[in-house]
Amino acid sequence: MFDKIVAELARALNRKEISSVELTRTFLDRINKYKSLNAFITVDPERSLAQAKAADARIARGEGGALTGVPIAQKDIFCADGWLTTCGSKILSNFVAPYDATTIEKFNKAGAVCLGKTNMDEFAMGSSNETSYYGVVKNPWGIDRVPGGSSGGSAAAVAARLAPAATGTDTGGSIRQPASLTSLTGLKPSYGRVSRYGMIAFASSLDQGGPMCRTAEDCALLLNTMAGFDPRDSTSVDEPVPDYTQGLNQDIKGLRIGLPREYFSKGLSSEVAQVIETAIGEYKKLGAQIVQVSLPNSQLAIPCYYVLAPAEASSNLSRFDGARYGYRAKDYTDLLDMYCKTRAEGFGAEVKRRIMIGTYALSAGYYDAYYLKAQQLRRLIAEDFRKAFESCDVIMGPTTPTTAFKIGEKSDDPVAMYLSDIYTISVNLAGLPGMSIPAGFAPDGLPVGLQLIGQYF
Ligand code: GLN
């Protein structure tokens, strides 16, 4: 049962071939059995089973929907009423959310079961899940390897079949990169498609929640539930939500696939390149037409992002000061000392690095040179995509330059770490939707993901 995808589980539940309680127990047992992967920060079997029981009752009344009774793991960035919600940080290590994020509320309404809160890089800052206060997550495909980040716990959970699906968030690649490194299908929707209300903010103009599943069909099912306008998020977009399952399994004859020259140049490992080329060959066989496109400002995406994201983070994270909620330092002399010690003790090294970079970039005298410049580059990067889409319907390329790297390999070298998002970050800067799908395996047996970038919505 644990090896079935969401679509199959939903069918089995609706036909009453299994109960949600049974299914939830199966996954909880597996989470416990594979604890050493460290995929979850919090599990609360009592809560999950109560939801499962309610789902079974709902199905018995004939009121089940597409996800009723299906257990879903939630990234620990989403506030969930009554659940410890840490965002991977010590500073929120005692924070029990008093309300539901819109995404959680929508899953609850659908009757899905929250299986637990998954491990993640602290405040979603990272590409390897090594910055989490709760420790590294291991990649089920090779336990000496990182699962990617920041949604590394969600990725490891679904890859190891500890959950049939999970949520993630993607500010610069955090759904697509871990999906790629663990052979999942991960979708970052267009900016504004999924509400950010109750999703702890990292870089508000880039953050977007999305599904991490095993198939496109499952992603469609989850996105059907997650997507939609939310008056509580001023950046959510008031556009009708189509039924995403309607777009599945359509003919792709004549589809124009754009291959950006810059995504196939130096920096891409030959093992990954080979798998990607073979995958694209399959599309050709199915009748797609390949066109060369160019995204000339691609090399500016990382520097641009590492000004803008830290700038926004430095502002967003100012709320964590020990005064209202979360961790507070034990010994302090006065209010200022309390703030300083709380933040010094509560944040990890990567988060502090970002706060310092962001504060610097926004300070008087440097704002124009860094922040404003980065905003201008952001526009150029979005323009590149607009031009590329004049000659193609979808852009394809690798999701990551290499397969999963070793735990510890890049943790002392922030720049090397930042480069692992080289193909994903520009998509967030442009606000476009992107997804990573399994493309095959490199000779070392590790998974390779193919990235698909589409037009808005
Ligand atoms: N790895 C990138 C970073 O560290 C992106 C993270 C994300 O998408 N949340 O900022």
The Cα 356–Cα 360 span in angstroms is 6
Q: Is the CB of 129 under 6 A from ligand 1?
A: no
How many angstroms separate the alpha carbon of residue 124 from the centre of ligand 1? 6
What lies within 8 Å, CB to CB, of 445 at 6+ separation is: 141, 142
Tokens 């100012």 -> residue = 318
Residue 266: its pLDDT value, please? 85
- Whether 87 is in the pocket of ligand 1, judged by its Cβ within 6 Å, is no
234 is catalytic: no
Dump pLDDT digits (tens) for 324-381.
999 999 999 999 999 999 999 999 999 999 999 999 999 999 999 999 999 999 999 9
Express each pLDDT in 50-85 by its tens digit. 999 999 999 999 999 999 999 999 999 999 999 999
CB 117 within 8 Å of CB 107? no
Q: Determine the pLDDT at residue 375.
A: 97
Q: Is 252 helix (H, G, I), strand (E, B) or coil?
A: coil
Indicate the pLDDT class of residue 415, thresholds 50, 70 and 90: confident
Candidate of 76, 78, 120, 121 to mutate for ligand 1, largest count of ligand atoms within 8 Å of Cβ: 121
The pLDDT of 228-236, averaged and rounded, is 98
For the beta sheet containing 394-398, the strands, ordered from the edge strand earlier in sequence to the opposite edge, are 40-42, 113-118, 71-75, 166-169, 209-213, 185-188, 434-441, 447-453, 394-398, 256-260, 289-293
Instruction: Judge if the beta carbon of residue 351 lies within 6 A of ligand 1.
Output: no
- Mean pLDDT of the chain, nearest integer: 97
Beta carbon of 174 within 6 Å of any ligand 1 atom: yes
- Measured CA to CA, the distance from residue 306 to residue 310 in angstroms comes to 6
Residue 71 in contact with ligand 1 by CB distance below 6 A: no
Ligand 1 centre and the CA of 429: distance in Å?
12
**Percentage of the chain modeled with pLDDT above 90:** 97
Compute the distance from residue 331 Cα to the ligand 1 centre, in Å: 33
Across the range 15-30, mean pLDDT stands at: 98
Q: Is 78 helix (H, G, I), strand (E, B) or coil?
A: strand
Burial group, residue 17, by CB count within 10 angstroms (0-12, 13-18, 19+): exposed
Residues pairing with 188 in the sheet = 434
For ligand 1, pick from 202, 421, 422, 451 the residue to mutate: most ligand atoms within 8 Å of CB: 421
Cut 0.95: pTM above it: yes
| Residue 378 one-letter amino acid | R
Mutate to test the pocket of ligand 1, among 120, 174, 422 (most ligand atoms within 8 A of CB): 174
Q: Identify the residue whose C-alpha is closest to ligand 1 atom 4.
A: 126
Annotated catalytic residue within 19, 89, 132, 150 = 150
Question: Both ends of the chain: CA-CA distance in Å?
Answer: 34
Q: In this predicted model, what pLDDT tens digit does every residue of 92-123 receive, in sequence order?
A: 999 999 999 999 999 999 999 999 999 999 99
Instruction: Assess whether pLDDT exceeds 90 at residue 416.
Output: no
Count Cβ neighbours within 10 Å for each residue of 231-251 and write b for 16 or more, e otherwise: eebeebbeeeeeebbeeeeee
User: Is 426 known to be catalytic?
Assistant: no
